[in-house]
Amino acid sequence: MTLSALNADVIVDQLNAGEVTATDCVQHFLDRIQIHNAELNAFIRVSESALEQAEAIDQRRKSGESLGSLAGLPIAIKDGICVSGQPTTAGSKMLENFSPPYDATIVERLKSADAIIIGKTNMDEFAMGSSTENSFFGPTNNPWATNRVPGGSSGGSAACVAARLAPVAIGSDTGGSIRQPASFCGITGLKPTYGRVSRYGLIAFASSLDQIGPMTRTAKESALLMSVIAGFDPRDSTSSKEQVSDFLTGLETPLAGLRIGVCRDHLNEGLDVEVKTKINDAISVFKQLGANIEEIELPQTKSAIAAYYIIAPCEASSNLARYDGVRYTFRAQANDLEEMYRNTRGQGFGDEVKQRIMLGTYALSSGYYEAYYLKASKVRRMIKQDYDEAFKKVDLILGPTTPTPAFKLGQHTQDPLAMYLADIYTVSANLAGIPAISVPVEPSSTGLPIGLQLQGRAFEENTLLRAAHQFQNETLWHTASPSEPWRTQS
């Protein structure tokens, strides 16, 4: 079997067993990137030092040194996460030449596990988008149908894993930015509990919603990565001290007796018929696995998108104020300070980012705070309480990740609201801070991936991973790969 067909846990085993060298492994994926990235544009940049690092790992292995748990495994990182000395752009012209002098905590952890960062993946500018069309570096194409979007904002990470340009990747999720592209690209994507994974070094979009997580082919691979990246970080005040268990143990514990809630409201209005069918099929699979399916209600989640599109832009308008032309690379021509600010921000940000900064600035401006930010934060409390109630009755909540499969490039670019509705099922987990995972179910009749979302109680990623893992053992939808050469699909 070719390396790119193998799961990350298998690759790690083979590397440990000496069946393959890190150098060969990295070279293999670099070759695939070389061949396919031009068409997919999943990577903004390939790491120049990846091969060197692989050689060093091989050397250390040869000399009998003990190595980290991911030794030699190539991994792709979303370009909104800082890697010391490597350009980190967040998909923006504003940071085109920005090279952070420090590693994000998760990068530090991956490096000390001896994983090899193979490149930085494309994304919607500052993670604002659901299609990766808002990247200064051009859109990423969906490997299942290259005229369709891979989802966003972590579209590059999703596409590169789906196309096997990297075995696994890291994304970030503010309103669905891991799960929605995972769904569109037919892979597994986990948004951990808020505070589970350090945000230190993640270029902020909306701080109270952002969370870093794994994007992989299987739930087991996500568990493997979580075991490395999760855990308390004293540099992130919002990082949780909650005990981190080994995410790999317990994956096989049977689902018998597991209570899974289904919210009927989420399986009706606006949902693509085929998506609905495939999700219902998946429900049957969970029943066969011994889970009890129960109906639940999440009445306030109907306001989630509206609350999200207040809270996220408000935080973003403040988080992105630092890009003012003084410290980080891009500065536009100007005669005085004010002009420099306005020109730099006018030219350095793309349209969607500017739009959201405008919205957030408006909503926070004098006299509006209570009507918008405060009200939305109260609605947010109600949404959280809905989940608290539901989780008294059930262990997991099941539903679609997105209302439709991947849409076409350009389809929603002129209609922000239509684009925003792609997040309708995903934003609530961010607002409530709970973990959620997207796993592939049976593709559409035209061969487009469809995602199933499981949401769990705070800090119970284990239950999510266990359910997802056993669903994958049962269905094998996650093993499907887009065929090469990539096709378009109307």
Partner 1 sequence: MEDTVLNPTSSPQSSNRRAVRFDDAQIIIGLEVHVQLDTDSKLFCGCSTRFGEAANSQTCVVCTGMPGALPVINQRALELSIRAGLSLNCQIARSTKWDRKNYFYPDLPKGYQISQFDQPICGPGHLDIETSDATGQARRIRIERAHLEEDAGKSIHDESSRRQDSKIDLNRTGTPLLEIVTQPDIRTAAEAKAFLSELKLILNYIDVSDCNMQQGNLRCDANVNLHIPLGDEQIATPIVEIKNLNSFRAVERSITHEAQRQFEAWQEHGLTIADAPKQTRGWNDHTQTTTLQREKEDSADYRYFPDPDLIAVKIEESQIQEIESQLEQLPADLRKLLAEQYNLKSADASVIVSQGRGVVDYFLKVADGCEDSKIANNWIGQEVLRQLNESNQTIEQYPVSPQQFTDLLKLVIAGTLDQTRGKEVLNAMVADCISPEEAVQQLGIKPVDNNELVSLCEKLIDENQDVVEQIQSGNGKAIGMLIGKARKINPNANPGLVKAMLSKMISA
Partner 2 sequence: MSETPEQPTVNQVARLARIHLDDQQLTSSGEKLEQILEFVSQLEQVELPKDVEPFFGAIESVNAIREDNLQTSVPREKILDNAPESDGEFYLVPPVFRNTDS
- For the segment 214-253, give every residue that binds partner 1 (CB under 8 A): 234-238
Helix (H/G/I), strand (E/B), else coil: 294:
strand
What are the residue ranges of helices labelled H in 186-247? 219-229
End-to-end CA distance of the chain: 32
Angle between helices 8-17 and 22-40 (to 10 degrees): 150
CB of 102 to partner 1, least distance (A): 5
The stretch among 107-115, 134-142, 349-357, 394-402 that binds partner 2 (CB under 8 A) is 349-357
303 exposure class (CB count in 10 Å sphere: 0-12, 13-18, 19+): middle
One residue of 111, 259, 354, 408 binding partner 2 per CB under 8 A: 354
Assess whether 207 carries a catalytic annotation: no
- Name which of 217 and 345 has its Cβ closer to partner 1: 345
One residue of 269, 370, 392, 485 binding partner 2 per CB under 8 A: 370
Name the residue among 361, 289, 281, 290 with its Cα closest to residue 320.
361
Q: Does 100 bind partner 1 (CB under 8 A)?
A: yes
Q: From CA 110, how far away is CA 100, in angstroms rounded?
A: 17
Structure tokens at 420: 């925003």
Structure tokens at 346: 């006018």
Rounded to the nearest 5 degrees, what angle is found at the Cα of 41, between the Cα atoms of 38 and 45? 95
Helix (H/G/I), strand (E/B), else coil: 214:
strand
Interface map 197-216 toward partner 1 (x if CB under 8 A): --xxxxxx-xxx--------
CB of 357 to partner 2, least distance (A): 5
Q: Per CB under 8 A, which of residues 447..466 are in contact with partner 1?
A: none
Interface map 99-128 toward partner 2 (x if CB under 8 A): xxxx--------------------------
Backbone angles phi, psi at 19, to 5 degrees: -75, -25
Interface map 400-439 toward partner 2 (x if CB under 8 A): ----------------xx--x---------xxxx------
Q: Per CB under 8 A, which of residues 294..353 are in contact with partner 1?
A: 314-315, 317-318, 320-324, 326-328, 337, 341
Backbone angles phi, psi at 292, to 5 degrees: -95, 125
DSSP state of 406: P
Q: Which residues belong to the active site?
A: 78, 153, 177
Q: Which residues in this chain contact partner 1 in the complex, by CB under 8 A?
A: 81-82, 88, 90, 95, 98, 100-102, 104, 199-204, 206-208, 234-238, 314-315, 317-318, 320-324, 326-328, 337, 341, 361, 364-366, 369, 373
